A and B are shown apart, each in its own frame.
Chain A
Amino acid sequence: MAVLVSTAINGDTVEFACDPHESLLDVLRNRLGLSGAKEGCGTGDCGACSVQVDGRVVCACLMLGVEAEGRDIETVEGMSHGTELHPLQSKFLEHAALQCGVCTPGFLMAAKALLEHNPDPTEEEIRFGLAGNLCRCTGYDKIVRAVQDAAKVMRG
């Protein structure tokens, strides 16, 4: 039996109906057309589905859609302001911190959460902070450098 859920996604009030066992990731991708979050493993190991819920980064595959009731959700689709990219997005492009791109939305969301909690992280803190995100094209060094550079821009 479908359940009606009312939530906020990227600042907009969103209502959807979903089955109780559906993950938030399936709801985002299949019901709401927000395909930025990716399904890599579906078991919380790869971080490709990272989104923010009430200001904390979570794996959308490890949360039920029905749990989103009344929460504040941010996805990669809400990162840029129109055509103006978020500094993390610009720096990922500048540093070529992506190859196939499947892990990128997750890395961006996890890096955003990291910098919101710690605006001036050390390299070690960045590596630990992003340890829940896997990149199988093995571009970690470029990703770390992009995050360091974006942090600098965001600190102003």
Chain B
Amino acid sequence: MQYEAPETTKAAVGLLAKAKGSAYVLAGGSDLLVRMKGGFVEPDLVVDIKRIKPMREIKKTASGFVIGAAVSCAEMNENKALVKAWPGVVEAAGLIGSKQVQSRCTVAGNLCNASPAADSVPALVAAGAKALIQGPKGKRKLPVEQVAVGPGKNALKKGELIEAIELPARKDRSGDAYLRFIPRTEMDIAVVSAGVNLRLDKKGVITEARVALGAVAPTVVLVAAAAKAVIGTKLDEAALAKLGEAASAACKPIDDKRGTIEFRTKVAAVLAKRAAEIAYKRAGGK
């Protein structure tokens, strides 16, 4: 195995593009090293992106935040402006693993690993985040919900890597939230999860909504019907009931030791409703 730690994105793309055999990007390593240890992958090349300066930075711009692909989730939680603007995204990122894992893991890595249960992904999808991708043919932007294409499979082509995650600027009277169900109190993988981002008008009526669910389908799903159920409402009982129904209807979960199909389908509705209530309050709704 060859290890490279280039200092520019261009150099990283060059290494990945011309690699013969299997090539992997190393950000936090909390997924890659476990898979190497288990013998599930045997990389010929590992490209460590942590020496690429722009990838270590969180930039606040007029159009939002640009979170470098090598920024750890601990660093995200320490960025006050980001925590204030996107509490749901930061909470979701902060739920990944332990303090030890937080020191290293990244949301870009969480996204590329393409687990349907990835904690940060439903929150990023609800937020309308975009992945900034660099490759041999230049740059492209992909909505985060299009990055994972199946369990463990992502849409990146040979030579491509995510250089940053872009979050939009926080609009007036808007808020987000993320909730997950786990049988323990910490250090576990989501059995079901929900991310919600809402915007209200001055009267507290929802004008924009995005609802995303995790661990209930092969990829994290953006549920347009759930958003539609609450737009034009003040999140009253009837709207919440419709939101829950739409969330359950979007579930195509697996049955496994952590949760049955029936359980996941039911809990998806509960979590979507609760996350919507938190997001509504954060947006200033009463």
Residues of A that sit less than 8 Å from B by CB: 3, 19-21, 23, 42-45, 47, 50, 53, 56-59, 61-64, 66-67, 69, 110, 113-114, 128-133
Contact = CB atoms under 8 A, between A and B. Distances in A.
Contact of B100 (A57, A64, A66): A57
Nearest to B43: A21
Interface in B25-63: 26, 28-30, 33-34, 36-38, 46, 48, 50
6 contacts: A20-B2, A44-B100, A44-B101, A67-B50, A131-B185, A132-B187
| Closest 9 pairs (CB-CB, A-B) | A132-B98, A20-B3, A56-B103, A131-B186, A59-B100, A132-B100, A43-B34, A21-B1, A58-B103
A90 to B, nearest CB: 23
B74 interface: yes
B5 interface: yes
A24 B262 CA distance: 43
Given A21-B36, A58-B104, A132-B187, A110 B30 contact: no
A144 B34 CA distance: 29
SS of A interface (majority): mixed
A110 B3 CA distance: 28
B99 interface: yes
Given A44-B100, A132-B98, A61 B2 contact: no
A23 B100 CA distance: 15
Interface of B: 1-3, 5, 26, 28-30, 33-34, 36-38, 46, 48, 50, 72, 74, 97-101, 103-104, 185-187
Given A43-B34, A43-B38, A67-B50, A62 B1 contact: no
Contacts of A59: 100-101
Given A44-B100, A58-B100, A64-B46, 14 more contacts: A3-B3, A20-B3, A44-B97, A45-B187, A47-B100, A62-B30, A62-B100, A63-B104, A64-B3, A64-B29, A66-B5, A113-B99, A132-B97, A133-B98
B85 to A, nearest CB: 23
A56 B26 CA distance: 18
Contacts of B74: 56
Nearest to A47: B100
B37 A42 contact: yes
Contacts of B46: 20, 64
A62 B5 contact: no
A19 B36 CA distance: 14
Contacts of A53: 103
A131 B37 contact: no
